[in-house]
Amino acid sequence: MIKVGIIGATGYTGVELIAFLLQHPHVKELFLSSVSFEGQHIEDIYPNLRSFCNTQKCSGNLLNADEVFEKSDLIFTALPHGLAEKWADACLKEGKKLIDLSSDFRFDDDEETFTKWYKKSWDFPETHKAAVYGLPELHREKIKKTSIVGNPGCYVTSALLALIPAVENNLVSTSPIIIDSKSGVTGTGRNPSAANNFSECGESFKAYGVAAHRHQPEIAHVLSSIAKEKPSIVFTPHLVPMSRGILSCSYAELKKEVSIEEMYRLYTDFYKDEVFIRVLPLGSMPETAHVRGTNYCDISLFVVNEGKMLQVVSVLDNMVKGASGQAIQNMNIMYGFDEKAGLDLIPRAF
């Protein structure tokens, strides 16, 4: 049993963490912090949590971040980029663990790329050497041994899980890889803006961040470590008028003729031991509704353009496998818990 803290508990990823951790069998106590709502009670901000907080496991009171740090064995940081470094450094010094849901630890030792895209240099560069990129299907063994995990981006998770088996087996060219993704509005965060205003995004559909979205260099960074060459990524995110979910269509040119049956066998074998990856039967199409509220990623495979190109369609819940659920999956791995602990949910049919 462990004591867990969330610094940044009132954003969408923070409250999603709360919902999962309250029911986690190995979490003894849960402590919450929020700069914006310090001193308030979480149920006053998220009434859906009524009767779940104010218990021995979680008081629901939003504490000072320092107090949460002192009380916890593991910290989740759900903060804007640039703010998790100091907590990670403190965790290393105090023998605690940290899982960051921002971008701070997603680029290994590549400070140059991080600075280019996030306009900030690292304050604790040595701390980054201890961090592991937290995609369980890629780095499970490293995650088991580390104290600092950088949780992947939501779009990135959907694209990487779709592409890694083909790239790792050298079946596709990495220049270019085209990724066309659509996300629900929760991906823009809880703070009000024109992007997530219902009058602006309802009954509408748009591309955004074209040629400038920060998940593009993250995808390229991870795939380059697998392909051993720098890939050329064309990534286009879209905002669709639904609350949650991501659907990504990823395209890559095949290096040799591969039948769809051979590709299907490769993917099913690659993911055969992955509890949260479902490679769908040939001809089936994934839908965001089929994974909503769960940590699953559904994948469908197609060989198109007269057998010259691989197309992979992947779906996940951007708030769960794309954020908080994957973070808890990483926690389970770090502590040797059953990987499905707290996440063993059946998707609702509608």
User: Which positions are annotated as active-site residues?
Assistant: 154
Q: Are 178 and 234 in contact (CB under 8 A)?
A: yes
β strands within 94-171, DSSP E: 97-100, 131-133, 148-150
Distance CA 78, CA 45 (A): 17
In sequence order, what DSSP letters do the residues of 275-344 get, joined into one string? TTEEEPPTT----GGGTTTSS-EEEEEEEETTTTEEEEEEEE-TTIIIIIHHHHHHHHHHHT--TTTTT-
Rg of the chain on CA atoms, in Å: 20
Going by their DSSP bridges, the two strands 2-7 and 27-33 should be labelled as parallel
Cis upstream peptide for 281 (omega within 30°) = no
Give the side-chain half-sphere CA count within 13 A for 30: 25
Residues in CB range of 319: below 8 A, 6 or more apart: 12, 13, 16, 154, 186, 244, 325
Q: Which two tokens stand for residue 272?
A: 């055969």
Strand (E) or helix (H) holding 196: none
Strand (E) or helix (H) holding 262: helix 260-270
Distance CA 299, CA 286 (A): 7
